[in-house]
Structure 1
Amino acid sequence: MKNLTLFFLLMAFVANAQMMTPEQLAEHQLQGYNERNVTKFLEAYSDSVKVYMFPNKLMYQGKDKMKTGYEGMFSNMPDLNCTLKSRMVLGNTVIDEERVLFSKDRPVMEAIAIYKVAAGKIQEVYFISKE
């Protein structure tokens, strides 16, 4: 019985050690984005992630739809890069101010991304971009 209790305590410790903080999740997906690595990028997101144009226009839902869109973008935009200007973290919410380069012949887009985290994954994303 004692060994079983120790086993479960160890498993709980390992599970908690592997869970990323909201800030780590935001950073992980940013790294995947800049590496154009769709697998790494998607690791931070829940299977049912909802992506909105701020404040409440649902653009799409689900990691499968996210994968389809980002795979195409990653393979067709060799200049793609996102520079983090600032980051704020409050509890399970991360707010990133970003500069996104889609191609060298287009101006850089300024944007804000708001990530809402629950159960160890990004559940919702809200984008605000400068027109």
Structure 2
Amino acid sequence: MTDNTAPVQRQLDAYNAKDLAAFISCYHSDIAIYRMPATEPAIKGREALAAFYKTERFSIATLRAEVLQRMVVGNKVIDHEKVYGMAEQPYEVVVVYEVQDGLITNAWFYPMG
């Protein structure tokens, strides 16, 4: 039984450390990121993911996320997260990470409220 939470936790730790190389290494080269309710990926591929997080996320000094609750169902890891630094007030999001062979292959972001 593989620990599907391992790459999800590693990417969260790297996100909070703003360690782009460590963050990207948790994702499959064909990663697809969805911002629901979109049916097409907002970001496709590891290079696009790196470019986006380098300029749009890791440049924010106060950026960090904490997991309020985590659930694992098969190869899906579902995190209820609170994100700081993106807006005046922290906001909550549910993220479903799909893990295969120790890498995140898809992620669906569901904004709360």
User: 1:43 Cα deviation (Å)?
Assistant: 1.2
For structure 1, the residue ranges without an aligned partner over 5 or more in a row are 1-19
**Structure 1 vs Structure 2: percent identity of aligned residues?**
25
Q: Determine the structure 2 residue equivalent to 1:88.
A: 71
User: 1:119 Cα deviation (Å)?
Assistant: 2.5
TM normalised by structure 2 equals 0.90
User: 1:59 Cα deviation (Å)?
Assistant: 0.6
How large is the RMSD of aligned CA atoms in angstroms? 1.5
- Aligned positions, number: 110
Q: Which has the larger radius of gyration?
A: 1
Q: Which has the higher contact order (CA 8 A, sep 6+)?
A: 2
Instruction: Return the match for 1:60 from 34, 43, 49.
Output: 43
Aligned partners of 1:43 and 1:27: how far apart in 2?
A: 12
TM normalised by structure 1 equals 0.78
Aligned partners of 2:106 and 2:33: how far apart in 1?
A: 6
Which stretches of structure 1, 4 residues or longer, exceed 4 Å deviation after superposition? none
1:15-94 matches, cutoff 5 A: 21-55=3-37, 56-72=39-55, 73-74=57-58, 76-94=59-77
Counterpart of 1:58 in 2: which secondary structure?
coil
For structure 2, the residue ranges without an aligned partner over 5 or more in a row are none
Task: Indicate the structure with greater helix content.
Answer: 1
Instruction: Return the match for 1:118 from 82, 97, 100.
Output: 100
